[in-house]
A and B are shown apart, each in its own frame.
Chain A
Amino acid sequence: MTEIQENVVPDAGMSVDVSQRVRMWAAFRRNKTAVVGGVLAVLIVLVAVFAPLLAPYDPLVQDAEVRLSGRSAEHWLGTDDFGRDVLSRIIWGSRVSLIIGLVSVFLGMVAGTAMGMVAGYYGGKIETLIMRAVDVLMCFPDLILAIAVTAVLGSNLVNLIITIAIVMTPRFARLSHGQLLKIKESEYVIAAQAIGARVPRIIVRHIFPNIFGELLVAGTLWVGVAIRLEANLAFIGLGVQPPTPTWGNMIREGVDVLINAPGISIFSGLSILITILAFNTLGDGIRDMIDPRLRGE
């Protein structure tokens, strides 16, 4: 494929030229698992968005007569201890998991990347201060930190998003800091500095497009982490409170009736598993896509 001329020096704004993009997309399409993961992730997001239209029943309506009924024609996945339709609750539960998962990772990415890039670019005391704070936050395992912050902030939707964003921020900070250190000494950055470009312009136009790939991979993979954290918190009882259906809540309620109606826990857990799986395979696919070795170059 050498007849296509490639830009050697990343141009202002675009870090890859068109032919490279075509090759990346082709590489992604070749990876069948990644495509499946991507399609699955999109489908799950659509389910969450269109939950009111898709769910056969109202997830909060109780019907004592059909408590703990197994799978049937009326209730495809059965009912729970209050007679609520499990399938509808799972469909509505996707909203909580996805909102928390996606928004918290996005917030963490914005905050963490900003912190990491500032720390990496300016160095010195700023870098020490920021990266020390990051080190301290990462001294606690994810879940422990999330539990502690939840204890302070409380268990409603917005605060859960903030909590998990706080857990994700140091990860992104470390990642972008490392990437920035690698790129800082590149010729095009030095050239930009030499012609007197101001710092924000250098960061936005030259540095950021080149670390964006890594950020995207990490972001996609860490959506799975965020969703799992939310489910963990919900299972402990620190998540969004009942009667709002969330997958973690449902597993917890299902454990009480595990012997009689294992389906509740099994299917809500399966939803979490499939969602995380989708984002993991998608993230792996994106990672392979941006790796030039695997594009056949």
Chain B
Amino acid sequence: MTVPSPVSDPTRETQLPTDLVKHEPGWKRLLRRQESVVFGALVVMCATFALWHPVEFATAANVRGMAMDASVLLLIALGMTFVIASAGIDLSVGSVLIFASIISIKAMGVVGSTGVAVALVGVVAGCGAGAAWGLLNGVLIAWLRLPPLLVTLATLGAALGASQLLTGGAELTDVPTDLNSTIGFGTVIGIPYLAITVTVVTVIGGLILAYTRFGRRTYAIGSSHAAARRAGIPTANHLTVVYTLMGGLAGAAGFLSIARFGTTSIGGHTTDALSAVTAVILGGASLFGGTGTVIGTVIGVSIPTVLANGLVIVGVPASWQPIAVAAVLIAAVYADRRRRDKQQRN
């Protein structure tokens, strides 16, 4: 057989029914994205609270507080964006966070009580412990092909149990004090270290998802596992990395939460996974996979944070916050459903 060139042959005639191309202008496409809609909702929310109670809500101190509240959750939600884009879910992140915070404290306790080196050990130990759980999730999901929901439900319990075994159920509080005063609640030109750290990590994560082959392959696997495999993508490897990354980020969140609060919180993270999933879905991702952006997730994390803060300021009992978030979530999911139905009809 001869080998014809697969590339263009200039001698060939080109007949083009170009009238078939329907190209929507970019701004219109942007406006229709769920990120834009949810961003609009966030702006309206902020504006309402800011006009209603400007003295309490629209202050640097309050914004700083909200940024710190959102930071730890954002780190988890960042990982969850990758997981959900790959058509998976990770329910274990709250327990993994607790486990990693315990390992982190114990590791720091071994090397010392102050200084940058100790903090570094804490970071590495926390991220490593988290990544180990993530790796376990990834292997069970990608290589044994078990459903992510069940695997991470199991590791949710296992990591919590392991945490209680390690501590005997008592909280650990021996966090280095200089860690607490810098990363925990220190600021640089008015911006909390915590927020800076998380922002840097989030921007890197966002760039990876949007612009690299890793991101594209994550979307491809989430869109159609079979298609990705047929295209020669090593899907099992890729998913293992995604879940390991998620675990590592949960570990980092564990480190940041002990830096901030100066203690582990064994009972305090039961809803973390669900909050992260909520944020990702609010940000325009679909649980069916193949979609989701980090910008959307940032907005999705901000909405519950602003609601919680604003409702307290205007004097609504804090318990109304989850109810309000629930309403926004249902609205977002309904909007996604409508959009998918419309696509299907096409």
> Do A and B come together as binding partners?
no
Q: Interface of B with A (CB < 8 Å)?
A: none
**Which residues of A are interface residues toward B (Cβ below 8 A)?**
none
